[in-house]
Chains A and B, each alone.
Chain A
Amino acid sequence: MNARRLEVEGAIGLDDVPHVRRFVETVNRRFVSNDDDISRLAIATHELLENAVKFSLDGGASLRFEVEDGGRVCITTRNRARTADLNELIAIALELETNDPMLVYIGLMKRSPAARGGLGLGRVAAESEMEIGLELDGDVVQVQARATFAERVG
């Protein structure tokens, strides 16, 4: 897998998210060795960007998709968010760090349907099998998902 980077930034709408996912999926077909890994990356890209858009305070969000030599992938989103949403995000990230991601994901499913937060971060950890990291700077939150994927040979 060759090192590469894709960045999207600005006033991104919810309807833009599937287009970004499909573009990432198309590019990854050239580099990633199997369909399951391509799907895992597509899911992670979609869910992280959708969260960033959905919880953005000002309508702005960014996504960076980076691949290092050796197939290490890092997907990063940034957005401004309300304090209540930041606290919710921190709580989920902490749970994912200290528990089996699948159990956390199932726990998110059991929450009230009216809960504002969704399944997205849990899905990235449990289904895409990526490590979640969080950094805060005031009301700006940066979410990262990382994992290593097998390179396509030839």
Chain B
Amino acid sequence: MPDLSTMTSHDGSTVVLTCRGSAETRAFPDLSAALEAVHRDALDRSARAVIADVRALEFASSSCLKAFVTWLQLVLELDDEHRYKIRFRSNLQHSWQRRSLGAFAEFAGAVVEIEAEGA
């Protein structure tokens, strides 16, 4: 299983973060740094949405889930003017995603949206 890789691109004012591979615990610092950078980028661009494309993310340890949770918390704490949506693009073939992203939606329903494909 390949190591975690992250890539950021843009679609208009929307920031797109693509995660691939396996987010094992040792990837936590890199993932945290990538999510912080995406957050800054989204604020700089006054983005209304960030797409987190995790369709090719085969696994994430709870440490890496915590990195996402920290990001969600940062967005929740923004005022209405700066708060953006985080739209997770998920892959139903990785069934952990349905469970983990479902928990994210419970935690931060005001900012999390989930698109699923691959049924």
**Set of chain B residues within 8 Å of A47, measured between Cβ atoms:** 61-62
Question: Does B66 have its Cβ within 8 Å of any Cβ on chain A?
Answer: yes
Cα–Cα distance between A103 and B91 once the two chains are bound (Å): 25
Question: Does A35 have its Cβ within 8 Å of any Cβ on chain B?
Answer: yes
Residues of B in contact, count (CB < 8 Å): 23
Question: Does A137 have its Cβ within 8 Å of any Cβ on chain B?
Answer: no
Please tell me if the beta carbons of B70 and A118 are within 8 angstroms of each other in the complex: no
Shortest beta-carbon distance, B4 to chain A, in Å? 11
Please tell me if the beta carbons of B62 and A102 are within 8 angstroms of each other in the complex: no
Question: Does A113 have its Cβ within 8 Å of any Cβ on chain B?
Answer: yes
Question: Does A15 have its Cβ within 8 Å of any Cβ on chain B?
Answer: yes
Given contacts A123-B62, A127-B103, contact A39 B95 (CB under 8 A): yes
Give residues 17-70 of B contacting A (CB, 8 Å). Answer: 22, 24-26, 59, 61-63, 65-66, 69-70
Chain A, Cβ-Cβ closest to B32: A113
Please tell me if the beta carbons of B22 and A127 are within 8 angstroms of each other in the complex: no
Please tell me if the beta carbons of B107 and A110 are within 8 angstroms of each other in the complex: yes
Question: Does B11 have its Cβ within 8 Å of any Cβ on chain A?
Answer: no
Given contacts A118-B66, A119-B62, contact A106 B107 (CB under 8 A): yes
**Set of chain A residues within 8 Å of B69, measured between Cβ atoms:** 109, 113, 119
**Set of chain A residues within 8 Å of B93, measured between Cβ atoms:** 35
Question: Does B100 have its Cβ within 8 Å of any Cβ on chain A?
Answer: yes
Q: Mark B65-89, 1 if CB is under 8 A from A, else 0.
A: 1100110010000000000000000
Question: Does B106 have its Cβ within 8 Å of any Cβ on chain A?
Answer: yes
Q: Mark A26-38, 1 if CB is under 8 A from B, else 0.
A: 0000000001100
Please tell me if the beta carbons of B95 and A35 are within 8 angstroms of each other in the complex: yes
**Set of chain A residues within 8 Å of B22, measured between Cβ atoms:** 18
Question: Does A82 have its Cβ within 8 Å of any Cβ on chain B?
Answer: no
**Set of chain A residues within 8 Å of B103, measured between Cβ atoms:** 102, 105-106, 109, 123, 126-127
Please tell me if the beta carbons of A119 and B66 are within 8 angstroms of each other in the complex: yes
Cα–Cα distance between A63 and B38 once the two chains are bound (Å): 37
**Set of chain A residues within 8 Å of B25, measured between Cβ atoms:** 14, 17, 50
Q: Which residues of B approach A to under 8 Å, CB–CB? A: 1, 22, 24-26, 59, 61-63, 65-66, 69-70, 73, 93-96, 99-100, 103, 106-107
Q: A18-B22, A110-B73, A110-B107 are in contact. List 20 more A-B contacts (CB 8 A).
A: A14-B25, A22-B1, A35-B93, A39-B95, A39-B96, A40-B99, A43-B96, A47-B61, A47-B62, A50-B62, A50-B63, A102-B106, A106-B106, A113-B69, A113-B73, A118-B63, A120-B62, A123-B100, A127-B96, A127-B103
